[in-house]
Amino acid sequence: MGELDGRVAIVTGASRGIGAAIAEAFGAAGAQVAVTARTLEEGTSRLPGTLRDTVGRIRDAGGTAEPFAADLSIPDDRTRLVKQVLDRFGKADILVNNAAVTFFTPVADFTPRRMALMFEVQVNAPTHLAQLVIPGMRERGQGWILNISSVAARHPSLPPGPMAGLGATVYGMCKAALERLTTGLAAELYADNIAVNCLSPTQVVPTPGTVFHGLTTENDPNAEPPEVMATAALALCRAPAATLSGRIAYSQDPLP
């Protein structure tokens, strides 16, 4: 039997990279996986990877998955997404908030529109999606919420290092907010047996459409394969809240 047999998982940003790897790992572990992103079909994005691709790989491996196209910057799309998942699968046991829109620009040059979009997708959307799935998790007496963060959430030291000029301040601000949401929500939901954790890559995961910080290929020795994140995500979404919750974890750190 799989570790996630009988559970339904929503994974956002699952058309490529970390989100796709997590969705596939959960499918292989027995979960019914609802994958969501903006890109449903080929030809609708300049980047490789679609929800159909992810679903196809899960099904080819013997798993169960359904694609749900949604723009998580739009509150109505978030509400519709969860309703569609509940209509299709009847519940949502696991929520993985992986989707992100990111611009690497120094604060002095950041436009209000771009900042609002980043905060909407990386902070407001995870908060709203959690609000939508928590009632059902409480009713069933268990649940798992996993937020995907970054080492950019850490406070920089002074004098600044070589990464300071890459324009990651707003990105780090959003991820720091997501980490604080994680620990606060973990405390609120501990008595409900709903585990809430945050997971960051230990090293950069090269993904189409991201800034690689000097990494150019998936074969770069400094790169982290997305499967490392998927393994850690699985560990954080199977233990009860009393055992593992409120953790700000890194993919290559040992987990129970």
C-alpha–C-alpha distance, residues 26 and 116, integer Å: 32
Degrees to nearest 5, angle at CA 77 with 123 and 57: 90
The verdict on whether 91 is a catalytic residue reads no
* Residue pair 253/19 in contact by the 8 Å Cβ criterion: no
Rg (CA), the chain: 17
Q: Of 15, 73, 149, 200, which one is the catalytic site residue? A: 149
- Count the helix, strand and coil residues of the chain and give each as a percent rounded to the nearest 5: 45, 15, 40
Q: Of 171, 200, 245, 251, which one is the catalytic site residue? A: 171
The verdict on whether 175 is a catalytic residue reads yes
Degrees to nearest 5, angle at CA 108 with 107 and 114: 55
The DSSP element (H or E) to which 34 belongs, if any, is strand 32-37
The set of residues, in sequence order, having a beta carbon less than 8 Å from that of 71 and lying 6+ positions away, is 38, 77
Closest CA to 119 of 193, 201, 181: 181
C-alpha–C-alpha distance, residues 26 and 58, integer Å: 9
Q: Of 15, 150, 175, 251, which one is the catalytic site residue? A: 175
The verdict on whether 190 is a catalytic residue reads no
* Residue pair 178/147 in contact by the 8 Å Cβ criterion: yes
Retrieve residue 90's tokens: 């009847």
Active site (catalytic) residues: 149, 171, 175
